[in-house]
Amino acid sequence: MSELRKDPVLDRWVIIASERGRRPSDFAAAGSEPKPATCPFCGGNEHMTPPEIYAARGNTPANGPGWEVRVVANKFPALNIEGTVERSGIGLLDRMTGVGAHEVIIETPTHEEDMAEASLEHTATVIKTFQQRTLDLRRDDRFRHIIIFRNHRAEAGASLSHPHSQLIALPIVPQIVKATLQPARLHYMRKERCIFCDLIEQELALPDRVVRVTDQFVVLSPFAAGFPFELTIYPLRHSHDFVQMDDKEMLALAEVIKDVLQRYKTVLNDPPYNMMLQTAPTTLPRPGHPEYWGTIAYDFHWSIQIIPRLTKQAGFEWGTGFFINPVSPELAAESLQVTSS
């Protein structure tokens, strides 16, 4: 029988339509994506991209071969790095200048080396690059929030099949982030505890939705998952900001991410997916807003959300804001509790 479930943080309802009986084998295998004749992200084609902003490389010259991870500006940015943040409006209609940063993190010079197959050390280098670019962009007081995301396959929004992630620095905190921060702050004000830490402790005590737990991280199938086989990775120690990780923790996170992606490959035939790093917004003082974000170090908990793109939103979802998930989180966790290859 279907049931409605409420997300304890986002205050959002979803429909778990388990009577539809969707199992891993019900989802079609993803087709292979051919390598383009010329890929601008492959090693040796550095001249085809904008100049590198950052690179993990040895003693080789910038903008040439010999790199492990390379960061360049997006050729078609959603926001532009130049300019100042200016707000204006007409009555109820608000607008502001489209200032921000939009960068591409090219994860490897090898076209076929996806994150699921890369070495742990290399994936840790990719995570270190995320950290370094976040720290650098936070020095710019125009930017309020930084989102890092990975679109795997064209069905998930990837325009190039070469392994890469993207970073966008925004001049505002997105509403979905505020919708997480505000109830987390209220929970802390009432109980002096992090709502995410409470949630993790509860899920570990009743492990129906725990896919994997290590010494440092836990992988959960969320109670009110909006999408089939959606997973969230949390650090077990309380931490509001992923840039606080040291090298040992980054290596441990690399192992967990690689393991999750291999489980998806084994169970779901390498599906398209979106992976989002959800971390705290910039905590620079906001003029006129001393409440932003004074308790965030205590009440927020960073995470990585991974959503396989196995279903599509239609009229009901767009018209109501409800998601319909045909796979119960408990079945998803059970199916993914397999030995990865």
pLDDT tens-digit readout, 236-281 = 999 999 999 999 999 999 999 999 999 999 999 999 999 999 999 9
- Predicted confidence at residue 26, as pLDDT, reads 63
Q: Which of 29-33, 238-242, 262-266, 306-310 has the lowest mean pLDDT?
A: 29-33
pLDDT of the residue at 32: 64
Per-residue pLDDT tens digits for 98-137 = 999 999 999 999 999 999 999 999 999 999 999 999 999 9
The angle formed by the CA atoms of residues 167, 168 and 174, to the nearest 5 degrees, is: 130
Neighbours of 36 (CB within 10 A): 13
What percent of the chain lies above the pLDDT cut of 70? 94
Quote the pLDDT of residue 23: 64
Is residue 282 assigned to a domain?
yes
List, by residue number, the catalytic residues. Answer: 164
341 falls within a domain = no
DSSP 8-state class, residue 226: S
Considering the domain boundaries, does residue 175 fall inside one? yes
Please give the tally of structural domains in the chain: 1
Confidence band of 292 (pLDDT split at 50, 70, 90)? confident
Report the alpha-carbon angle 246-248-254, nearest 5: 100
What is the domain extent for residue 285? 3-336
Q: What is the pLDDT of residue 34?
A: 73
Query: Would you say residue 100 lies in a domain?
Result: yes
Q: What is the pLDDT of residues 42-95, one digit of tens each?
A: 999 999 999 999 999 989 999 999 999 999 999 999 998 999 988 898 888 888
With a cut of 90, say whether residue 324 has pLDDT above it: yes
Residue 25 has pLDDT above 90, yes or no: no
**Residue 101: CATH number of its domain:** 3.30.428.10
Q: Do 252 and 215 meet the contact criterion of CB atoms below 8 Å apart?
A: yes
When the pLDDT of each residue in the chain is averaged and rounded to a whole number, the result is: 91
Nearest CA among 55, 33, 28 for reference residue 43: 55
Considering the domain boundaries, does residue 264 fall inside one? yes
Separation of alpha carbons 279 and 307, rounded Å: 17
Distance CA 178, CA 192 (A): 19
Please report the pLDDT score of residue 321 as a whole number: 86
Q: For residue 202, is it within any domain?
A: yes
Q: Is residue 255 part of a domain?
A: yes
Rounded to whole angstroms, the Cα distance separating 215 from 15 reads: 33
**Is residue 171 pLDDT above 80, yes or no?**
yes
Residue 58: the pLDDT is 87
Buried residues in 182-211 as b, exposed as e (16+ CB within 10 A): ebbbebbeeeeebbbeebbeebeeeeebbb
Distance from C-alpha of 221 to C-alpha of 223, rounded to nearest angstrom:
7
Query: What integer is the mean pLDDT of 5-26?
Result: 78
What secondary structure, in 3-state letters, does 26-84 show? HCCCCCCCCCCCCCCCCCCCHHHCCCEEEEEECCCCCCCCCEEEEEEECCCCCCECCCC
